[in-house]
Amino acid sequence: MMKKRNLFYVLSVIALGFTTACDEKEIGGDDTAQIGAYVIAATGESGSYLLQTDDADSGNLSILNNGVEAATPTVWWFHNNKYLYQLTYAQGEAGLGASFELDENGLIKERNIGFKIDDRFTTYGSYGKYIITAAAKATSYTDDAGNMQQGIAFTLLDTEAQSKEAKIISSENILGNGEYATVSGIVDVNNKIYTAICPLGVSAWGAAHGAGVVSSATAYPDSVWIAIYDNVNFENPKILRDNRLSYATSRFRSQYYKNIVADEKSNVYVFSSSADANTTKKSGVIRIKAGAEAFDPSFYFDIETAAEGRRLFNVWHITGDYFLLQLYTEATSTQEDAKRLAVFNAAGNSGNGSFAWIQGLPAIDVVGTYGKTPLADKGKFYMPVVTTDDQEPAIYVIDPATATATKGTVITATGVSSIGKLIYE
């Protein structure tokens, strides 16, 4: 097993569009052998650095004369422990990205497939071999009055073929209520795509076609919807609705943060941050049991009450029935102030759910940010934490059973955004 290594690879200039991939070297021997590494994305004054270690529970890493240097993306996305993708949101411009993997020596290397995401994205996720980004976007259709049909633009990055496909679907009346919508979160469950539908109001197109008066706000803030698609054609979704929550997303600037996650048994947990200013529903969680096409009427947990009035911001699955919750610091906190972490146990309290604040993190008032890409591994949760006092950035290791955090690897850098695992087979 490898120890911490210095890396001296520098990224090549990223091409516009996918380039032809280099032939992969065939490796003989035992095909069950694996080389793995934790990869940590840290930041410095000039950009991001990809650092490697075989132990994220302790020790020190530094970006000084170390690591693969890269531009700082919107998010680092680890795909199936095999590839690392750099996804960049560039508003009206094409977002340039790159892809990485481990070589036969266990060192991270660029795959030489620079690409661009032409459409902006507000959410992302994985499905099979694909990394998918999505955002609301007008389609190419207009009516006789010039009203544009609203839709959802998807970019599909094929991680194996090293190719890219863009497609757009209409979102007009997607929920049957006359409104157009966008999506939040893309989750692969039993070879189907689960995504939360977030209604956006009535467009000019919708109003011209009988949906009502043009509105920039939904008339249905007290409902939650999940769409289930069979594949990346994004056709004929099964739409599930429940009235115990508001729609399943949180918001920060242009981004929609996913509030849906699946456990190892393919149960899908649907959380809501109650982000809509007009909702009367509290931040909470409901469930779709594995294989079901309806919400479980017996399962509901009121996160907001358990958190003393604080709403959910983000959520990740840890292991089994445990989930990590990132919550707003106070009941009146703004979008930029989500500094509390807690563990939710879906099986706690005889199956009714339980909630516990995490102990052992730096003081709430000095935490600058949490990483966008943490890692669940070996029954624990690895969270990048940037502090604003005299402490250096570090990976904190969370034990869900005890709801405690301990400081793991410390990084000499200005920040740390991501941790994941890559394996060479």
Three-state DSSP class for residue 351: helix
> Which residues neighbour 27 within 8 Å (Cβ) at sequence distance 6 or greater?
104
End-to-end CA distance of the chain: 14
Tell me yes or no: is domain 121-357 CATH 2.115.10: yes
Q: What is the predicted pLDDT for the residue at 72?
A: 86
Q: What is the predicted pLDDT for the residue at 15?
A: 31
Cβ-in-10-Å burial (0-12, 13-18, 19+) of 87 comes to buried
Task: Please state, in angstroms and as integers, the Cα–Cα distance from residue 125 to each residue in 293, 331, 379, following that order.
Answer: 21, 29, 22
Q: Provide the residue-wise pLDDT of the chain in tens; the chain has 425 residues.
A: 343 333 333 333 233 333 333 333 222 233 445 577 999 999 998 889 999 999 999 999 999 988 898 888 889 999 999 999 999 887 666 678 899 999 999 999 999 878 888 888 999 999 999 999 999 999 999 999 999 999 999 999 999 998 999 999 999 999 999 999 999 999 999 999 999 999 999 999 999 999 999 999 999 999 999 999 999 999 999 999 999 999 999 998 889 999 999 999 999 999 999 999 999 999 999 999 999 999 999 999 999 999 999 999 999 999 999 999 999 999 887 767 899 999 999 999 989 999 999 999 988 766 668 999 999 999 999 999 998 778 899 999 999 999 999 999 999 999 999 999 999 98
- β-bridge pairing 60-62 and 404-412: parallel
Tokens standing for 15? 């091409």
Q: What is the predicted pLDDT for the residue at 387?
A: 83
Where b means 16+ CB within 10 Å and e means fewer, 379-392 reads ebbbbbbbbeeeee
| Rounded Cα–Cα distance for residues 355 and 285 (Å) | 12
276 near 247, Cβ under 8 Å?
yes
Domain span(s) for CATH 2.115.10 in the chain: 121-357
Residue with tokens 């706000």: 217
Task: Please state, in angstroms and as integers, the Cα–Cα distance from residue 149 to each residue in 65, 74, 177, 180, 254, following that order.
Answer: 52, 28, 16, 9, 21
Q: What is the predicted pLDDT for the residue at 366?
A: 65
204 near 216, Cβ under 8 Å?
no
Cβ-in-10-Å burial (0-12, 13-18, 19+) of 373 comes to middle
Q: What is the predicted pLDDT for the residue at 12?
A: 30
